[in-house]
Amino acid sequence: MKARLARGLKGAVRPAGNDSSLLLDPNHPSAPRPQGMRRYAEREPVDMLIVGCGAGGATLAQRLARRAWKVVVLEAGPFWDPDKDWVSDEAGSHALYWTEPRVIGGSDPVELGKNNSGRGVGGSMVHFAGFAPRFHPSDFEVASRDGVAADWPISYEELRPHYERLEHELPVAGEHWPWGDPHGYPHSPHPVGGGALRMIEGAERCGIEMRVGPVAIANGSFGNRPHCIYRGLCLQGCKVGAKGSPLVTHVPDALAHGVEIRAECMATRIELDEAGRCSGVTYFSEGRERFQAAEAVAVAGYSIETPRLLLHSTSARFPNGLANGNDLVGRRVMVQGAPQIAGRFPEELRMYKAPPPEIASEQFYETEEGRGFARGFSIQTVGPLPIGWAEHVLADGHWGQALREYMRDYNHWYVIGALNELLPLPENRVTLAEETDANGMPVARMDYSQCDNDRANIAFGKQRMREIVRAAGAQDVLEIDRYAHLVGGCPMSDSPESGVVDSDHRAWEVPNLFIADGSVMPTQGSANPALTIMALSARLGERLADKRVTATPKHRQEVPA
Amino acid sequence: MSGDAGHLPSRAGTEPGGPPQSLPRQRRGKTPQMLGRYPDYDVLAEVSHWDEPTRRVVLDRVERVPPIRFFDEREAATIGAFCDVVLAQDSEPRIPVLAMVDEKLFERKGEGYRHADMPPDPQAWREVARMLDAAAAEQGAEDFAGAERDAQLRIADRFSQGKLDWEGLPVAKAWGLVMRDILSAFYSHPWAWNEIGFGGPAYPRGYARLGPGQREHWESPPEFELDPVRDVTERGLE
């Protein structure tokens, strides 16, 4: 009875405390309009000044604004108008990515830009595929359980209520999820394309279970957001407004509750007062330097720009960068291994249709005796468009006539990929390069090298995927090695010697400085990080507003939500 | 070659080869070299179903070939010939990849990263042009554009394997960089979409037929089903 009732209510339950989907204009549902947005004076300290309007920053802004905090968000990129700014086209979506110069090094350098770095209101979630899995409870105690990496100073249980709430806000669609902490989703699973059907069969023959979802795409209309049209361009920004990103899930409600989002404003320094507290942020807007005063600052620029901003904010008190007294800022930056295996099938599968995120398995997520390495990986679908597919063919060693011939065969291929949990290593770090950007600020340099555990994990994941693709009936197979998803760089920890922020995201060394993005993650699991970044910010917002975290604006009275 | 994909063709020689013999000529719309698997499919017949910003961006690639402004004359000749070789564009109609790459470099559109041991992208492109000319000179040609087709293929093959030497340029990374830009240009062009049967932009119309072997009413069936892995191997294309 209860199960039937729950099924009947699928997609019908409105999220509490977030009216974003109703605030969007039904005729332009892919983004809110900033006209009529509240404005704050620069000299008057706002309660919270947030740097970055992506998954972390936008969620925190919305939560605090609901509790009557005065919030300004500085965003380096534009306030998108998807109707005009976005195109249903792979190469034409260049502006969605952070394409400012950055330097990469190490023995396994990570290519930045379109694969992992967003720009503009909505952040990287604007061009993320849409997978929105939770982390597993084991992710929060990796050191205790597996003897590698670090434990988090918080447990899964502390994030669970925020996961549940956010899954209604995005909303997330998928089958019942049997892995980690088993749970259902508020929206029913989407239909899947021919390739995913093949992979489900192949996996089954290998004794591997794959399930549909979890994707942050409403199944059916959601408030004023329309149904997904399965056009396959999730990674190019959802013109439809069906895929969840902060632009449609949290920014509308934040604006309605008095948040000011200052787009095209690049933060260059966090300023300190004599008492060692942040006084505000210096930023560039239209080529001019400006300053916004604040009672507290939350940095949400993601794993490259957050460390860069802190490292560039030097002072007599912090000559090596703000909150960097222990030389930990920028360290333990992580990416997931993301090898992909493509299979060729006799019938046309046309993998450009349907959202690229279709099905997933987390059966290999945790450490298993006998594999020879710690932690694990998940398996998901990928669905590259022609340019992505060309990169695939090139990576397998083909060019010229052979490349053209593989490309002409595009419609017969389907691609699955792994997300391998690579370990946080102190030498994998973000530093400042000598090169500077247009504002005179040194650009970020990211060094990355794998360890033996990482290599063993990736090799094992590829072997499992090859088995699935073969068992699905593939006539031939291609493969590519790549990375996905930045996190880490300013880990949360239970002591100042082991991390940059405490369990309340507050910098150990600066009482009113918070970090509210994926850079606080001590480990990364094998799950796509977006939902967890949002859940962390939602938790932080709740704790700040409830005054369970001190050193926040002293004058603020409790205001019911 | 990556990994242990042992079934894939080994790079046995550098025979220029050609497209498979039975590959149909394009009957409707254009494809590069007028060959393709979908001879009656023209994605540009669907433009009235696309949203306006998308239509503008895609049609620009066909209707507005930009002038060469970044490369000098000699570089343009070298890079133009190189693009033809690595894309097997050996006859008209050609997708104007040189002009598309030149525009990207002229407008200083970055990708968001530079390898620590690589020069900035625009400089790397110029170095590649010089390297190709020098490699052609070693084979007795005046420059890369003037070299015999076989010599061009041999040079491209060595480049692809990181076996060319050039001061200040990590050659394997340079191959990755130039091929990234070349492939992004080529496969952003609707003529290439016709060749491979890609449905193209589908906003606001969307796709409704997702299952194996299903097609929208405006998508065309293929007239060619050869598995490229087998064909490329059997013909010793690589």
pLDDT tens for B191-202 read 999 999 999 999
Q: Which amino acid is at A354?
A: A
Interface test with B, best of A87, A335, A469, A478 (most B CBs within 10 A): A87
Interface test with B, best of A89, A115, A406, A486 (most B CBs within 10 A): A89
CA–CA dist A509, A275 (Å, integer): 12
CA–CA dist A99, A113 (Å, integer): 6
Q: Are residues B145 and B224 in the same domain?
A: no
The overall average pLDDT reported for chain B is 90
- Are the Cβ atoms of B228 and A462 closer than 8 angstroms? no
- Which tens digits make up the pLDDT trace of B151-189? 999 999 999 999 999 999 999 999 999 999 999 999 999
Kindly list the residues from chain A whose CB atom is less than 8 angstroms away from the CB atom of residue B2: 395-397, 479-481
- Min CA distance, B187 vs chain A (Å)? 5
CA–CA dist A397, A479 (Å, integer): 10
Residue among A226, A251, A253, A260 nearest A28 (CA): A226
Q: Are residues B44 and B117 in the same domain?
A: no
In sequence order, the 6+-apart residues with CB closer than 8 A to the CB of A97 are A113, A114, A117, A118, A119, A127, B112
Q: Are residues B160 and B83 in the same domain?
A: yes
Kindly list the residues from chain A whose CB atom is less than 8 angstroms away from the CB atom of residue B223: none
**Domains of chain A: total:** 1
Structure tokens at B183: 């492939």
CA–CA dist A37, A35 (Å, integer): 5
- Which tens digits make up the pLDDT trace of B128-140? 999 999 999 999 9
Bridge partners for A151 per DSSP:
A141
- Min CA distance, A266 vs chain B (Å)? 16
Q: Give domain status of residue A344, yes or no.
A: no
Kindly list the residues from chain A whose CB atom is less than 8 angstroms away from the CB atom of residue B17: 401
Kindly list the residues from chain B whose CB atom is less than 8 angstroms away from the CB atom of residue A117: 112
- Is any Cβ of chain B less than 8 angstroms from the Cβ of A463? no
Considering CB atoms only, which of B1, B180, B227 is closest to A396?
A: B1
Better-predicted residue by pLDDT, B130 or B17: B130
Contact A257, A242 (CB under 8 A): no
Structure tokens at A217: 């795409």
Considering CB atoms only, which of A83, A229, A350 is closest to B199?
A: A350
User: How far is residue B116 from each of residues A110, A118, A391, A426, B112, measured CA to CA in Å?
Assistant: 11, 22, 22, 19, 13
CA–CA dist A393, A406 (Å, integer): 7
Q: What is the band of B20 on the pLDDT scale with cuts at 50, 70, 90?
A: confident
Q: Are residues B175 and B103 in the same domain?
A: yes
Considering CB atoms only, which of B110, B116, B227 is closest to A344?
A: B227
Kindly list the residues from chain B whose CB atom is less than 8 angstroms away from the CB atom of residue A91: 184-185, 188
Kindly list the residues from chain A whose CB atom is less than 8 angstroms away from the CB atom of residue B197: 348, 350, 410-411
Q: In this predicted structure, what is the pLDDT of residue A2?
A: 67
CA–CA dist A228, A240 (Å, integer): 7
Which range of residues forms the domain containing residue B123?
Answer: 73-186
Kindly list the residues from chain B whose CB atom is less than 8 angstroms away from the CB atom of residue A232: 202, 207
Bridge partners for A336 per DSSP:
A484
Q: Which residue in A has a C-alpha nearest to residue B234's C-alpha?
A: A402
- Is any Cβ of chain B less than 8 angstroms from the Cβ of A478? yes
Q: What is the CA radius of gyration of chain A?
A: 22
- Min CA distance, B49 vs chain A (Å)? 12
Residue A535, CA atoms < 13 Å, CB-side half-sphere: 25
- Min CA distance, A295 vs chain B (Å)? 33
Contact A335, A419 (CB under 8 A): no
Percent of the residues in chain B that have a pLDDT greater than 90, as a whole number: 80
Q: In what order do the strands lie in the sheet with A513-515?
A: A260-262, A71-74, A48-51, A297-299, A513-515
Q: In this predicted structure, what is the pLDDT of residue A13?
A: 77
- Are the Cβ atoms of B197 and A479 closer than 8 angstroms? no
CA–CA dist A377, A525 (Å, integer): 8
A/B interface, count of CB pairs below 8 Å: 254
Q: Are residues B125 and B216 in the same domain?
A: no
Signed CA dihedral, B113, A236, B67, B182: sign only: positive
- Are the Cβ atoms of A476 and B180 closer than 8 angstroms? no
Interface test with A, best of B14, B43, B153, B203 (most A CBs within 10 A): B203
Q: Which residue in A has a C-alpha nearest to residue B24's C-alpha?
A: A408
Residues A227/A232/A236/A242 CA torsion (nearest 10 deg) = 10
- Min CA distance, B118 vs chain A (Å)? 9
Signed CA dihedral, A308, A312, A317, A320: sign only: positive
- Is any Cβ of chain B less than 8 angstroms from the Cβ of A438? no
Q: Give domain status of residue B49, yes or no.
A: yes
The pairing of strands A211-212 and A359-361 is: antiparallel
Q: Give domain status of residue A266, yes or no.
A: yes
Q: Are residues B135 and B178 in the same domain?
A: yes
CA–CA dist A310, A473 (Å, integer): 51
- Are the Cβ atoms of B19 and A99 closer than 8 angstroms? no
Q: Are residues B111 and B172 in the same domain?
A: yes
Considering CB atoms only, which of B2, B188, B214 is closest to A90?
A: B188
Q: The CATH number of the domain where A63 resides is what?
A: 3.50.50.60
Kindly list the residues from chain A whose CB atom is less than 8 angstroms away from the CB atom of residue B186: 390
Which range of residues forms the domain containing residue A497?
Answer: 2-188+213-334+426-448+487-545
Q: Are residues B140 and B181 in the same domain?
A: yes
Q: Are residues B165 and B108 in the same domain?
A: yes
- Are the Cβ atoms of B85 and A410 closer than 8 angstroms? no
Q: Are residues B85 and B176 in the same domain?
A: yes
Q: Give domain status of residue A381, yes or no.
A: no
In sequence order, the 6+-apart residues with CB closer than 8 A to the CB of A9 are none
Cα A550–chain centre separation? 28
Q: In this predicted structure, what is the pLDDT of residue A550?
A: 66
**Domains of chain B: total:** 2
Q: Are residues B112 and B139 in the same domain?
A: yes
Q: Give domain status of residue A373, yes or no.
A: no
Q: Give domain status of residue A530, yes or no.
A: yes
- Is any Cβ of chain B less than 8 angstroms from the Cβ of A98? yes
Cα A177–chain centre separation? 20
A230-263 burial, b if ≥16 CB within 10 A, otherwise e? bbbbbbbbbbbbbbbbbbbbbbbbbbbbbbbbbb
- Is any Cβ of chain B less than 8 angstroms from the Cβ of A480? yes
Signed CA dihedral, A55, A58, A63, A69: sign only: positive
Residue among A468, A450, A467 nearest A359 (CA): A468
Kindly list the residues from chain B whose CB atom is less than 8 angstroms away from the CB atom of residue A308: none
Kindly list the residues from chain A whose CB atom is less than 8 angstroms away from the CB atom of residue B50: 88
DSSP string over B97-153:
HHHHHHHHHHTT---S-EETTS--HHHHHHHHHHHHHHHHHHTT-SSTTTS-HHHHH
Better-predicted residue by pLDDT, B51 or B238: B51
Q: What is the CA radius of gyration of chain B?
A: 19
* A179 secondary structure, DSSP code: S
Per-residue pLDDT of chain A (561 residues; tens, 9 = 90+): 566 777 777 777 789 899 999 999 999 999 999 889 999 999 999 999 999 999 999 999 999 999 999 999 999 999 999 999 999 999 999 999 999 999 999 999 999 998 899 999 999 999 999 999 999 999 999 999 999 999 999 999 999 999 999 999 999 999 999 999 999 999 999 999 999 999 999 999 999 999 999 999 999 999 999 999 999 999 999 999 999 999 999 999 999 999 999 999 999 999 999 999 999 999 999 999 999 999 999 999 999 999 999 999 999 999 999 999 999 999 999 999 999 999 999 999 999 998 889 999 999 999 999 999 999 999 999 999 999 999 999 999 999 999 999 999 999 999 999 999 999 999 999 999 999 999 999 999 999 999 999 999 999 999 999 999 999 999 999 999 999 999 999 999 999 999 999 999 999 999 999 999 999 999 999 999 999 999 999 999 999 999 888 654 444 444 443
- Are the Cβ atoms of A89 and B54 closer than 8 angstroms? yes
Cα A498–chain centre separation? 24
Q: Give domain status of residue A517, yes or no.
A: yes
Q: In this predicted structure, what is the pLDDT of residue A10?
A: 77
Q: In this predicted structure, what is the pLDDT of residue A1?
A: 58
Q: In this predicted structure, what is the pLDDT of residue A555?
A: 43
- Is any Cβ of chain B less than 8 angstroms from the Cβ of A76? no
Kindly list the residues from chain A whose CB atom is less than 8 angstroms away from the CB atom of residue B222: 348, 411
CA–CA dist B201, A301 (Å, integer): 31
CA–CA dist B134, B143 (Å, integer): 7
Q: In this predicted structure, what is the pLDDT of residue A355?
A: 87
Considering CB atoms only, which of B114, B204, B238 is closest to A101?
A: B114
- Are the Cβ atoms of B16 and A401 closer than 8 angstroms? yes
Q: Are residues B101 and B135 in the same domain?
A: yes
Considering CB atoms only, which of A112, A350, A395 is closest to B112?
A: A112
Q: Give domain status of residue A60, yes or no.
A: yes
Q: Give domain status of residue B17, yes or no.
A: no
Q: Give domain status of residue A226, yes or no.
A: yes
- Are the Cβ atoms of B203 and A398 closer than 8 angstroms? no
Contact B58, B193 (CB under 8 A): no
Structure tokens at B104: 């990207």
- B7, exposed or middle or buried, with CB in 10 Å at 0-12, 13-18, 19+? exposed
- Which tens digits make up the pLDDT trace of B31-55? 999 999 999 999 999 999 999 999 9
